[in-house]
Structure 1
């Protein structure tokens, strides 16, 4: 009887402990089930980054200036000192022409100048003689006139009239001598101008370089007859073709939709694969005119080429920076949901609840988008699978790292 009571007492004491263990196990399973039901969500923080929009274009180098060098006078090539590929300096003699008739004209003008100077000397002497004669005759007339006035009747009227006539005639001779001297001066100026003109024409027998450059073609040889390149009705042959290659123009066809971003001074990265060079330039000029045929605007970049390592005609790939936004609020593009013109996304608040948010976008890159309104720095946004989440739903955020800078590169016509 005593053994039965002890057994029943032990069973009574053990039963509550078993019930307690069972209850704890059930609560743990419920908590694990609740945790398993909370979905995870990949989120990214709203940060301030830099977004750049660039445009890649293929361009071609052109000489800064290129010109056919003609002779201004007709003649035979006496000497030619350059050939293709030669580097020349401004003012350097490229060729010398032989023009015999021009030499004769020059000698004639020199003689005419000398003759005109002699004529001036003769006219000056004639003027001096006429002035001296007039001075003597005028003095004689004045003395006779004074004597006649002092003693009337002393000097015959006829003698007085003859003296006055000679005085006036001598005065006229002085005026004529002055006119002859002026005519001689004018003739000397004409002869000097003619001599200067012929001398200038004679100087054109020496064909010189108008600027520093490279001879890219030679059209004349020694003994060839060269026509003067001053008449438009004759197809004259140039002596050489000269290219200024120490400075090149890189011409780029900018598409119509990018014209609004083109401005002088904009930086351009240039890659020349033919010589393995990368350089930095700036937009110097553009046509401000869109071609109807290609819908592009010609834009030029000046590139220094002192060592002539770049050749006109080479191709280059250029990267133009169209837009750049620094220190702006950004979100990953995959976080943005667009519905027409409206953009929205899902934000996870501090309590890990999902909240829809309408936003306004600015510049968009390849991975990031600028947010101009609707978000604050540090907000967390869901970056994928937005359709799986409901407003107010609790989620377990998984933070994703995003790029700190983003460059969106657009390929233009001919870009690689």
Structure 2
């Protein structure tokens, strides 16, 4: 009795082990084989093609405000984010030195004018002496040489007066220059806008001997921005002015901003042997969400086709898992076709030659005899797709 019970227990265990093994290998075979294809459709819609790039946002017009004279910053009347109007006083350089120079120039001008006036008196005196000797010479009271000497003195006085006039003119110019330099100590906003950078502090010394130091950077209008991006030479031929642009920034990753291509610059940039061209994109920023310096990921729409028949790009790359000779025969029959899609007819696939039109990022325009909207076609299988799976394995029943 014990032996019989043991026999049945061992038998049941063997059956369960065999069944489990068969199920395991059958299931593994199913998982490894996977779906043969997924189902796609011929659809009617729009296709857009784009070129991607990155760039930096900046104001359309930015003015760097500098100083034309050297000195110490005495006052600052504007700061970061200050809104200014054209002509507003935004900074002042200590004017003491320039006021002293102007006073000196004024004194030099007065001295030069006095010298000119004195020389003119000399001219008048020399003229009178010459004219008097001319009259005396007519009366034979003086010699002709005395008249010549007086004439020479008169001519010399005229020349000396001209020299003094020139000296006075130089002094006047020096005075005017010092007036201008004194005026340069007051620095005004050249445009309406917003101060986006302040590069000096009160008490700081600025030197304008070689070039004007930058004190402020003013953006004229932050409601209009631009993106300066670089496009590879392989794609620059498809970029044109007024093409629509979409872009995102890291600060608002779920928001898409729009703009248009404003300019494609002709000057090339070569980096590591790669030729690129600057592309300027104008952007509306009425809500001031965009800030100067932000990095923009740009998509420039370079082409669009609307209301056309299209298929996923993957449909044109799909090849069924058929014998190589069978596929070769189909290709030979349709070798003149630009493309080939596989139409699902029940449980069968039927090849259909098509003409390829506009190619987008995900879809391609097609046309040809037999192409209809809504037609079911085969595309490469997706992971986890349960439609039209081709599986091989063992079955217990």
TM-score by length of 2: 0.62
Q: 1:64 to 1:44 in 2, by over 3 A?
A: closer
Residue pairs, 1:313-324, within 5 angstroms: 313-324=293-304
Q: Does 1:267 align with 2:244?
A: yes
Alignment partner for residue 250 of structure 1, among 227, 240, 249?
227
Q: CA deviation at 1:60?
A: 3.1
Q: CA deviation at 1:272?
A: 6.3
Q: CA deviation at 1:109?
A: 0.4
Q: CA deviation at 1:261?
A: 1.1
Other-structure match for 2:206: 227
Alignment partner for residue 367 of structure 1, among 363, 374, 378?
363
Q: For this pair of structures, how many residues does the alignment match?
A: 310
Alignment partner for residue 52 of structure 1, among 40, 48, 52?
48
Other-structure match for 2:27: none
How far apart, in 2, do the equivalents of 1:69 and 1:254 lie? Answer: 32
Asked if structure 2 preserves the Cα contact closer than 8 Å seen for 1:62 and 1:312, the reply is yes
Q: Does 1:167 align with 2:163?
A: no
Asked if structure 2 preserves the Cα contact closer than 8 Å seen for 1:61 and 1:316, the reply is yes
Q: 1:176 to 1:211 in 2, by over 3 A?
A: same
What secondary structure does 1:264 align onto? coil
TM-score by length of 1: 0.59
What secondary structure does 2:118 align onto? helix
Asked if structure 2 preserves the Cα contact closer than 8 Å seen for 1:93 and 1:209, the reply is yes
Other-structure match for 1:118: 114
Alignment partner for residue 289 of structure 1, among 257, 264, 269?
269
Other-structure match for 2:370: 380
Q: CA deviation at 1:93?
A: 1.9
Alignment partner for residue 280 of structure 1, among 232, 236, 259?
259
1:215-264 Cα shifts (integer Å, max 9, x gaps) = 23445444x141323347xxx98544444453432133434542221233
How far apart, in 2, do the equivalents of 1:238 and 1:138 lie? Answer: 69
How far apart, in 1, do the equivalents of 2:132 and 2:109 lie? Answer: 35
In structure 2, runs of 5+ residues without a counterpart are 1-39, 319-330, 342-349, 379-397
What secondary structure does 2:268 align onto? coil
1:332-388 Cα shifts (integer Å, max 9, x gaps) = 568868969951559xxxxxxxx99977644323434266xxx6xxx43376669xx
How far apart, in 2, do the equivalents of 1:385 and 1:75 lie? Answer: 78
How far apart, in 1, do the equivalents of 2:243 and 2:270 lie? Answer: 19
Residue pairs, 1:175-186, within 5 angstroms: 175-186=155-166
In structure 1, runs of 5+ residues without a counterpart are 1-41, 145-158, 347-354, 387-416
How far apart, in 2, do the equivalents of 1:53 and 1:302 lie? Answer: 20
Asked if structure 2 preserves the Cα contact closer than 8 Å seen for 1:363 and 1:369, the reply is yes
How far apart, in 2, do the equivalents of 1:337 and 1:266 lie? Answer: 30
Residue pairs, 1:285-364, within 5 angstroms: 285-286=264-265, 287-289=267-269, 291-292=271-272, 297-303=277-283, 305=285, 308-324=288-304, 332=311, 343-344=338-339, 361-364=356-359
